[in-house]
Chain A
Amino acid sequence: MAVASSAYKKVIEGDQQPKEVLVKIDRVTKKFDETIAVDDVSLTINKGEIFALLGGSGSGKSTLLRMLAGFERPTQGRIYLDGEDITDLPPYERPINMMFQSYALFPHMSVADNIAFGLKQDKMSRADIEARVEEMLKLVQMTQYAKRKPHQLSGGQRQRVALARSLAKSPKLLLLDEPMGALDKKLRSQMQLELVEIIERVGVTCVMVTHDQEEAMTMAQRIAIMHLGWIAQIGSPIDIYETPTSRLVCEFIGNVNLFDGQVVEDMEGHALIDSPDLDRNIFVGHGVSTSVQDKSITYAIRPEKLLVTTEQPSCEYNWSRGTVHDIAYLGGHSVFHVQLPSGKIVQSFVANAERRGARPTWDDQVFVWWEDDSGVALRS
């Protein structure tokens, strides 16, 4: 994880304010010739939230963002902003501003002129424009660079100018296209924090597109995972990490161990899964409501919830024998690769809480085990 952010705090505390829908995307489809970039997507974005579209390249996330900005027109479906249909409005008539991945600063204008550009289009008075530009420069702490041209700025400074420019017109909706894409890794985590802070101070609703899951989880309150033009899951970072609804989502976000198996006992209060990879059955603390014909199921468990021990667990379910196949020391934690009797290799993260603890080492006999509610049973 990168940095602590207030987004996480908000998720934990639960949103107190009543949710008010700002953007409604209603069954939008976009085709380029024969390829379908966005396939029948519907979603709503609430006022004041930071919403992330997360997906690999070609997942349609950028196309969806460009349709919100007005650069692309949906083949089918409508987009509403504040209840008003904006599907056919050109970009220059939408109260939406975008921060581009390359920042797209005007190279022949100074920082102040870049920020003033949008305001000038609104026929504001000169004094008002100057005041607003001053305010924006202060917001992003760039006051002393007002006279500079974009090529005289560093990457982080350019991004601040781009942010100030897109916030200057007080848009109803702010779009961020891969906001950290052009920055190096160290600067990235600094700017993520700063960006969230500024966005929250302004109080603007924000939709961002990213391929970096850490970035999405740090900055956003809700995340939509996109794959091949459709949305695989929408939820808070915790929802998506802890209760993924499909194999695709849980493999996309973070690491995961997957066990294929058959449901052997399915009650209202619990279920048992028999996996050929494991010595003991998997106990799930709730019913999994399988169909009668198809008993196959996948059980997913995150590496940090899979525990390694040298003593045989006393419980009846949820453990297996294994040997340590490999250990990767990563400083904060180590990754144990444990080979199960079936030959399958599972991963376990072990926090390095002590400087030199007694640890299992290569080729040691170990047991992997987990709590009843640690994993998720997946039907698809």
Chain B
Amino acid sequence: MKRFSFSTLMLWAGFLFIYLPMLILVIYSFNGSRLVTVWGGWSVKWYVGLLDNTQLMGAVMRSLEIACYTAIAAVILGTMAAFVLTRVTRFKGRTVFGGLVTAPLVMPEVITGLSLLLLFVAMAQLIGWPAERGIVTIWIAHTTFCTAYVSVVVSSRLRELDMSIEEAAMDLGAKPLKVFFMITIPMIAPSLAAGGMMSFALSLDDLVLASFVSGPGATTLPMEVFSAVRLGVKPEINAIASLILLSVSLMTFMIWFIARRAEVARKKAVQQAMDETAGVRDQQGPDSRRDPSQVHAPA
């Protein structure tokens, strides 16, 4: 008989608090009734209807596109910033630069969004670009704050990396740029992937910045969902939300699975190497050079 302790109870309360709303959302996406709050039996008609809703599907594709671009740009820029901050030990304005890179983390999105909008309007008037706001402007806006996240993740990894590995590569004749691509990048690859995924998720999720800097015909998924909800929740929204939930969970599970498998394989390889080394040493027998009794100290 399992005893319910206080901590188990709290654990389940926590789980319920976080995941119950999502569960209800998934259940209601299979609701047959047109009214969201009234249960009308099981149905998949909202999922079928999704395919015909070109506006919603267009927003989904647009959001994914922006998220992809953002992840790529943020990883490149963030890594460059992190590299400069950790590897170039002294240059003028280093502290200022470090502060500016990470400032978007704490900047209220409303302010960032508004100032970016003003900038884009002013630029359009002065140099004629961007002629109209849309995917490109949202991409720029998302990149600004995602870069900050990436640089924080990557610079913490760079800081704990043994710098003598990069020095060794340079010592062996590789020029700094080559060292960066052949040695540094492979070693920080996991944090680059983490930063990229984080940027992807942040960009996919962002509503505030996108609402400020988007233009006509460039509605992202969060904007679409938000405006639809304001006119009353439609069951279709439940369906799309459930699909997003499913894909995110699948992706997370896949990453966990791959990482776990790699870890198990690595441990196995190390163990095997240890066993083999021990075996070889036993077979070699007494080696006069390694036998301490044969070694004489200089008088």
Q: A-side interface residues toward B, CB under 8 Å?
A: 1-4, 8, 69-71, 90-93, 96-98, 100-102, 104-108, 117-118, 121-122, 148-149, 151-154, 157, 165-166, 169, 189-190, 193-194
Kindly list chain B residues whose C-beta atoms are within 8 Å of the C-beta of A93. Answer: 173
Write out the residue numbers on chain A whose beta carbons fall within 8 Å of the beta carbon of B270: 151-152
Residue from B164, B174, B186, B272 within 8 A of A121 (CB atoms): B174
Chain A minimum-CB-distance residue to B298 = A8
Interface residue ranges, B against A (CB under 8 Å): 162, 164-165, 167-176, 178, 183, 186-187, 266, 269-270, 272-274, 277, 289-290, 295-298
Chain B positions within 8 Å of A190 at CB level: 289-290
Q: Is the CB of B187 within 8 A of A92?
A: no
Cβ-defined contact, B168 with A104, below 8 A: yes
Please list the 4 inter-chain residue pairs (A to B) with the smallest Cβ-Cβ separation, ordered nearest first.
A118-B172, A121-B173, A152-B273, A1-B297
Note all chain B residues with C-beta closer than 8 A to A189: 295
Asked whether B172 lies within 8 Å of A154 as measured between CB atoms, the reply is no
Is the pair A92, B173 in contact by a Cβ cutoff of 8 Å? yes
Instruction: Find the residue from B167, B168, B186, B272 having the highest chain A CB count within 10 A.
Output: B168
Q: What residue of chain B has the Cβ atom nearest to residue A186's Cβ? A: B292
Is the beta-carbon distance between A101 and B164 smaller than 8 angstroms?
Answer: yes
The contact sample of 26 A-B pairs, CB cut-off 8 A, is A1-B298, A3-B295, A4-B296, A70-B171, A92-B170, A92-B171, A92-B173, A92-B175, A97-B172, A98-B167, A98-B171, A102-B164, A104-B165, A105-B168, A106-B183, A107-B165, A118-B173, A151-B270, A152-B270, A152-B272, A154-B277, A165-B172, A166-B171, A166-B172, A169-B172, A194-B289
Which residue of A1, A91, A108, A152 is within 8 Å of B171 (Cβ)?
A91
Contact (Cβ within 8 A) A91 B186 = no
Contact B173 A2 (CB under 8 A): no
Q: Whole-angstrom distance between the alpha carbons of A3 and B289 in the complex? A: 10
Q: Name the B residues within 8 Å of A104 (CB-CB).
A: 162, 164-165, 167-168
Residue of A nearest to B290 (CB): A190
Shortest beta-carbon distance, B160 to chain A, in Å?
A: 13
Contacts of B164 in A (CB 8 A): 100-102, 104
In angstroms, Cα B272 to Cα A108, docked, is: 18
CA A4 – CA B272 in complex, angstroms? 35
> Across the interface, which residues of A come within 8 angstroms of B273, CB to CB?
148, 152-153
Bound together, the chains give a CA A8 to CA B298 distance in angstroms of 8
Chain A residues with Cβ below 8 Å from B178 are 121
Known: A1-B297, A4-B298, A71-B167. A108 touches B172 (CB 8 A): no
Could you tell me the distance in whole angstroms from the C-beta of B67 to the nearest C-beta in chain A?
Answer: 28
Residues of A within 8 A of B169 (CB): 106, 117
The CB with the most chain B CB atoms within 10 A, among A70, A91, A149, A151, is that of A91
User: Which B residue's beta carbon lies closest to that of A218?
Assistant: B298
Q: How far is the CB of A51 from chain B (nearest CB, A)?
A: 19
Residue pair B168, A100 in contact (C-beta under 8 Å): yes
- In the bound complex, residues from chain B placing their C-beta under 8 Å from that of A118 are 172-173
* Residue of B164, B273, B298 most packed against chain A (CB within 10 A): B298
Measured CA separation A49–B172 after assembly (Å)? 22
Residues B174 and A117 in contact, CB atoms below 8 Å apart: yes
Q: Is the CB of B289 within 8 A of A108?
A: no
| A8, B187: Cα distance in complex, Å | 43
CB closest chain-A residue, reference B168: A104
